[in-house]
Chains A and B, each alone.
Chain A
Amino acid sequence: MSADSDQGRERQESPGLYVESTVIMTTVRVIAPFVLTFGLFIMFHGADTPGGGFQGGVVAGAVVMMLAFAYGIDTTRDWADARLVALLGALGVLTFVAIGLGSIALGGVFLEYPLYPIKKASKYGMELVELGIGAIVASIAVGLFFLLAAGFGHAMDEPEGDES
């Protein structure tokens, strides 16, 4: 991030775009932990109640969007780097694949949960899989959000396609 992004942040504070509001910042600070907990609950508890990785991942991703709404998109993007976001998704895929192939390594077939030597292996295995899916979905939701938001507030005083 060079001087270019600093310029971007200054531009963003032009009227009508990002407004630093104490009300919004305080509300988001209070609500964000609960939303994240709800997202994780949907992910983890998808085995016994409605929900699962796809829904929980979106809710968890929405936390980052809420932060961006309150603290400014560029600031949030500096905090949650695109590489970090992509890494989260990659970890999700690896978790799913590892659980799937692990049971083959133990002498079974793909995703044969009962082979894992823990209590209620199916249930916990499935919850880990859901967590992996959640990580993928959250990272892609946040990534798309940052991509689409990249030009936010810059379109007014710049010709199109002049972001690089």
Chain B
Amino acid sequence: MSATMIEGVLLAFVLGCALGAAVLKDVLASVIAFAAYSLGVSVIWVVLHAPDVGLTEAAVGAGIMTILFLLALSNTVRPSHDQFFESIRLRTVLGVGAFVVVMAATVPALPEIGSSAPVSTGEVTTYYLEHAYKETQVKNAVTAVLAAYRGFDTLGEAVVVFAAGAVALGVLRREVFA
């Protein structure tokens, strides 16, 4: 798997931001590093020809999540630290390292970047790609799966989002909106 210049720079950037989010002592700095990480990942999605995922990552991961984190932070007291980085325990390093090794073991199973072979060998993927436009008249196969083939699932998803939000609003409204 050969990586181009852009991909290499992006990967280094994302890894650096992820490490920063993990080891920076100051929570505000951590949140900012996490937002930068999300933005980097969203660009990587676009490079990998997954613009739908990239758009979601940029809007939700880098945008809304950062705002909500910052608002939550603004309601807390920020202690000042003398050290810049979190002290790192050996146990944590071993645990995270083992997880990384397990995840990295799955990488060789992925197809080459830009290859036309589907990630899963199921017939379903090929069927969607071949029939989506004919059957649903939309050019974006992701939307075709989301709103047509898997429309019922999407309804459930949307209702879950709505129910969770509405309950949170209903329970907390009396508390916070005086």
Contact = CB atoms under 8 A, between A and B. Distances in A.
Q: Do A and B bind each other?
A: yes
Interface of A: 1-2, 4-5, 8, 42, 46-55, 58-59, 61-62, 65, 77, 82, 85-86, 89-90, 92-93, 96-97, 100, 110-111, 113, 120, 122-123, 126, 129-130, 132-133, 136-137, 139-141, 143-153, 155, 163-164
Contacts of B139: 47-49
Contacts of B170: 86
B138 interface: yes
B165 A49 contact: no
A78 B169 CA distance: 15
Given A145-B71, A163-B176, A140 B59 contact: no
B89 to A, nearest CB: 31
A141 B168 CA distance: 12
Interface stretch (B15-23, B32-40, B61-69): B61-69
A77 B140 CA distance: 36
A123 to B, nearest CB: 5
A151 B75 contact: yes
Contact of B56 (A55, A93, A129): A55
Contacts of A132: 158
A96 B68 contact: no
A96 to B, nearest CB: 5
Nearest to A61: B64
Interface of A is mostly: helix
Interface of B: 51-52, 54-56, 59-60, 63-64, 67-68, 71-72, 74-77, 135-140, 142-144, 146-148, 151-152, 154-155, 158-159, 161-162, 164-166, 168-170, 172-178
A139 B52 CA distance: 21
A93 B159 contact: yes
A111 B148 contact: yes
B161 A155 contact: no
9 contacts: A49-B139, A85-B169, A93-B158, A126-B147, A133-B158, A147-B168, A148-B72, A148-B75, A152-B75
Contacts of B176: 147, 150-151, 163-164
A123 B136 contact: yes
Nearest to B67: A65
